[in-house]
Copies of this chain bind each other. A is one copy, B any other.
Amino acid sequence: MATIRDVSKLAGVSVATVSRVLNRSGYVHEETERKVLRAIKELSYTPNFVARSLSNKKTSTIGLMVPDITNPFFPELARAVEDVMQLYGYTTILGNSDESVEKEKQYVEVLKQRYIDGVILASTALTADEVHKFGVPVVVLDRALTSDTIPMVTSKNREGAREATRFLLAQGCRKIAHLRGPAQLLNADERCQGYLDIVEQTDWFHPGLVVAGNYEMKQATDATLALLKKYPDIDGIFAGNDMMAIGALRAAQILGISIPDKLAIVGYDGITMGEVVYPELTTMAQPIYDMGALAARMLIKMIEKQPLDTLYYELDVQLIERGTTRKV
């Protein structure tokens, strides 16, 4: 690998000059620039990022922490982040935290040793304080922590949940249950709240219609089986995420309940899996890709010290009507 020194010799100039044309910093005579460029081409020189990083303290590398890339919500997010980063000349390091606060902190430490420029935390369980201590630019994605100083992007969980529930009502459902997500997660709370906003005042509502879940399919299947056994007159289910909605669908299929005629189901997320089940899942879709891309853009701005016009983005969600609800 040729170095900047080789180039400077071949071009008959100093390394500083080469550095200048490389970084478009400072003045360089046109003629000189041409010579340098020619030398660069001839040696097929490419600057060494590590050396540059050492003096710069900038690596053009960011970290993306997800709970588990295997969880169907995150690949699309990761894709979006990577796409944008790539576009701006950044490289992205992937980390799985398994929802463990410890692993997450530890990972960030490792990344800091490597002079990482910034971090995107998807679905973190960290507190705002802990995040501040990192000392590197951070954007938080999805399951937000509560803070008005940390840049964040989410979707309109509560409003989306309301809309989904209203939709079920409009479909003619007269007893709607909710499979809620894990208690520690803010977004699970918000979605549950949205559901309650709509149904709490109805004459048929009672707390037994809200069932605890963990965002996973298997558990949701079992829970739904039990739920439908106890309350056979339930004719609508709003699930806190798509995986649980699919779990509910599975339960209905096991019980031979016809979907969507006897039971309508609406999920939340808009992951691809909703399209492979049959009937296909009606869902309140988050703009997953957009969320990732936006977070990436925000982070880049922070890294490059540009001002953020908004610190907190709450993106719109959109109902996608498919087979698990009736056409109206």
Q: Which residues of A contact B (CB under 8 A)?
A: 46-51, 53-54, 59, 61, 64, 68-70, 72, 74-76, 78-79, 82-83, 86, 91-96, 109-111, 113-115, 217, 246, 249-250, 253, 272-273, 276-278
Contact = CB atoms under 8 A, between A and B. Distances in A.
Given A50-B53, A68-B79, A92-B93, A278 B278 contact: yes
Contacts of A95: 82, 86
A319 to B, nearest CB: 21
B115 A246 contact: no
Nearest to A47: B113
Nearest to A1: B112
Contact of A115 (B49, B96, B250): B49
Nearest to A81: B94
A91 B110 CA distance: 9
Contacts of A79: 68-70, 96
A113 B44 CA distance: 12
A69 B59 contact: no
Contacts of A70: 75-76, 79, 272
A132 to B, nearest CB: 17
- In order of increasing CB-CB distance, the 10 nearest A-B pairs are A94-B94, A49-B114, A69-B75, A50-B53, A49-B113, A70-B75, A50-B115, A70-B79, A253-B278, A50-B54
Contacts of A72: 72, 75, 272
A50 B94 contact: no
Contacts of A94: 64, 78, 82, 92-94
Contacts of A249: 278
Given A49-B114, A50-B50, 5 more contacts: A49-B115, A69-B79, A72-B72, A93-B93, A276-B276
A114 to B, nearest CB: 5
A103 to B, nearest CB: 9
Contacts of A48: 113, 115
A122 to B, nearest CB: 13
Contact of A277 (B75, B78, B83, B278): B278
Nearest to A217: B276
A217 B79 CA distance: 20
B273 A276 contact: yes
Nearest to A64: B94
Contacts of A74: 75
B276 A246 contact: yes
Contact of A96 (B50, B83, B113, B246): B83
A8 B165 CA distance: 64
Nearest to A115: B50
A302 to B, nearest CB: 20
Among A51, A59, A75, max chain B CB count under 10 A is at A75
Contacts of A54: 50-51, 54
A246 B273 CA distance: 11
A105 B72 CA distance: 28
A97 to B, nearest CB: 11
